[in-house]
């Protein structure tokens, strides 16, 4: 039984899917106007791990995570660079996918783009107008917040209390609102901005309606889990509930999961403090597997502090696990005996205890910190219960068990052998010979083979240079 903390009820609840054996899960993705930072990386890693555990438990997970590819920040960046907003968003979606691959985040079932789903958003806005939940003023469409009786049920905020803090909620055209708490569903274009046709004006959707529509299109009107960073609880997720439930006439998401903030050296990450760290910068110092391991070393609902010391500790911790796997592989190659002995069968059976600890931790609101501790216990057991005398089958079974648990956490321990420099040079020589002989098909095949092994070739005046991807 998996229990998870539901932000909606503010307590742990047993996970019961709407459809037996299936999980419909929507995670709010980044706004793509720059390289992703380590704050963006936390929900990506956390909810990828949640998905992996559901799959480990036999669930079929439909995992949808969007890219917000039209937004004020994207437009601002496009104007600064003198290019189109589309060029900015496409560039940073590609960069984001590179970083996600480095962090071993499984590709989503679907990564919808806001700009490709405008028609559905216009339809949903029209439904809200028809039902009396929205109104239009001079080309802008607003949502009538007070008409939705359950407004505030996720963030546990009271509408009258919000009035006192309404400055933060006011949007353009505030004088035309019926109520200062109403929020924008559609806004008219400004000069030079990208725009789409709608019955109300040439313009673009508000941010909140984007996720409501994309979730509905790819997962249906009701979903099991909606997730994101805790900064999205209000107003983004609160507004999504108001829109979706008013439009569809049914409960939007059964469970709401939110990860806590990430601090840097005990300070909030911000550009003004100069402590803003991108995932790409981290990748220049560490394998991104270390970043992933670091993110999983704390419970996802606990604030996490990023520091050089903690990253070093994570690097050492990950190395302990990888080394255990490498030792098993080395011993397997040199094992004298093939078949497992009776004593080894018993020793292997005892590792069930660590699997049990691992699953108990993950069943308890995805406690990855305790799950990692169970993996360390397994590593310690492997190190003390194997030797040169161990059989190949016993070692193989232990490696498979370790790899399976690490795979749930997205940690790669069974890495393919890296190519040696002399082997690379040899293949480059073969490619050069093929080119001289005008056998370009063979030359291209060698280049592709090297690329598949993570080696990039550069043809320069000084000759062929290579680097690891």
Quick check: pTM over 0.85?
Answer: yes
Q: Where are the alpha helices (DSSP H) in 276-419?
A: 279-285, 288-296, 308-334, 342-349, 352-363, 368-384, 392-408
Q: In the numeric block, which tokens belong to residue 402?
A: 């370790």
Q: Can you give the pLDDT at residue 100?
A: 97
Alpha-carbon distance 392 to 400, whole Å? Answer: 12
Burial tier of 426 (Cβ tally within 10 Å: 0-12, 13-18, 19+): exposed
* The pair of three-digit structure tokens given for residue 260, joined into one six-digit string: 């806590």
Cα-Cα-Cα-Cα torsion 293, 297, 301, 303, nearest 10 degrees, comes to: -100
Backbone phi, psi, residue 337, to 5°: -100, 145
CA dist 389 and 10 (Å) reads 53
Does residue 418 sit in helix, strand or coil? Answer: coil
> How confident is the prediction along the chain (469 residues), in pLDDT tens digits per residue?
999 999 999 999 999 999 999 999 999 999 999 999 999 999 999 999 999 999 999 999 999 999 999 999 999 999 999 999 999 999 999 999 999 999 999 999 999 999 999 999 999 999 999 999 999 999 999 999 999 999 999 999 988 887 755 544 444 445 689 999 999 999 999 998 999 999 999 999 999 999 999 999 999 999 999 999 999 999 999 999 999 999 999 999 999 999 999 999 888 887 778 787 999 999 999 999 999 999 999 999 999 999 999 999 999 999 999 999 999 999 999 998 889 999 999 999 999 999 999 999 999 999 999 999 999 999 999 999 999 999 999 999 999 999 999 999 999 997 766 667 778 888 888 898 988 899 988 888 888 888 877 788 888 877 888 877 6
Measured CA to CA, the distance from residue 179 to residue 146 in angstroms comes to 8
Residue 252, C-beta contacts closer than 8 angstroms, at least 6 positions apart: 212, 215, 221, 222, 223, 226, 240, 241, 244, 245
- Report the pLDDT value the prediction gives residue 456, as an integer from 0 to 100: 84
Which of these, 156, 291, 300, lies nearest to 228 by C-alpha position?
300
* Per-residue pLDDT reduced to its tens digit, 303-354: 999 999 999 999 999 999 999 999 999 999 999 888 999 999 999 999 999 9
* pLDDT the model gives residue 459: 83
Question: Which three-class secondary structure state does DSSP give residue 370?
Answer: helix
The CA distance from 93 to 30, in Å, is 9
């Amino acid at each position: 039984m998996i229990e998870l903390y539901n932000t909606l009820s503010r307590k742990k609840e047993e996970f019961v899917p709407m459809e037996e054996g299936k999980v419909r899960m929507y995670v709010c993705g980044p706004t793509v106007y720059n390289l992703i930072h380590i704050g963006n990386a936390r929900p990506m890693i956390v909810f990828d791990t949640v998905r992996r555990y559901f799959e480990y438990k036999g669930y079929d997970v439909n995992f949808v995570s969007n890219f917000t590819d039209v937004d004020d920040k994207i437009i601002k960046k496009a104007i600064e660079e003198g290019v189109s907003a589309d060029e900015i968003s496409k560039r940073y979606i590609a960069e984001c996918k590179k970083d996600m691959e480095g962090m071993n985040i499984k590709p989503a079932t679907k990564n919808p783009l806001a700009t490709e789903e405008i028609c559905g958003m216009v339809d949903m806005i029209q439904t809200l107008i028809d039902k009396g939940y929205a109104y239009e003023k001079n080309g802008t469409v607003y949502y009538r917040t007070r008409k939705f009786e359950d407004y505030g049920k996720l963030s546990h905020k009271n509408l009258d209390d919000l009035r006192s803090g309404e400055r933060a909620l006011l949007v353009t055209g505030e004088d035309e609102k019926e109520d200062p708490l109403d929020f924008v569903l559609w806004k008219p274009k400004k000069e030079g901005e990208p725009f789409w046709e709608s019955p109300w004006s040439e313009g673009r959707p508000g941010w909140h309606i984007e996720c409501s529509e994309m979730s509905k299109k790819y997962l249906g009107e009701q979903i099991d889990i909606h997730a994101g960073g805790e900064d999205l609880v209000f107003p983004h997720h609160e507004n999504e509930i108001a829109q979706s439930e008013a439009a569809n006439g049914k409960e939007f998401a059964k469970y709401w999961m939110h990860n806590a903030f990430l601090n840097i050296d005990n300070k909030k990450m911000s550009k003004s403090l100069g402590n803003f760290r991108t995932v790409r910068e981290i990748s220049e110092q560490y394998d991104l597997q270390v970043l992933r391991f670091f993110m999983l070393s704390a419970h996802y609902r606990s604030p996490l502090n990023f520091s050089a010391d903690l990253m070093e500790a994570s690097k050492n911790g990950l190395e302990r696990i990888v080394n255990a796997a490498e030792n098993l592989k080395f011993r397997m190659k040199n094992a004298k005996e093939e078949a497992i002995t009776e004593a080894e069968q018993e020793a292997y059976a005892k590792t069930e205890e660590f699997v049990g600890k691992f699953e108990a931790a993950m069943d308890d609101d995805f406690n990855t910190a305790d799950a990692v501790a169970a993996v360390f216990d397994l590593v310690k057991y492997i190190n003390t219960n194997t030797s040169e005398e161990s059989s190949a089958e016993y070692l193989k079974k232990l490696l498979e068990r370790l790899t399976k648990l690490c795979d749930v956490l997205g940690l790669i321990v069974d890495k393919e052998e890296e190519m040696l420099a002399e082997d690379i040079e040899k293949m480059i020589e073969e490619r050069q010979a093929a080119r001289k002989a005008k056998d370009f098909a063979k030359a291209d095949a060698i280049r592709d083979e090297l690329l598949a092994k993570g080696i990039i070739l550069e043809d320069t005046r000084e000759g062929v240079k290579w680097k690891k991807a």
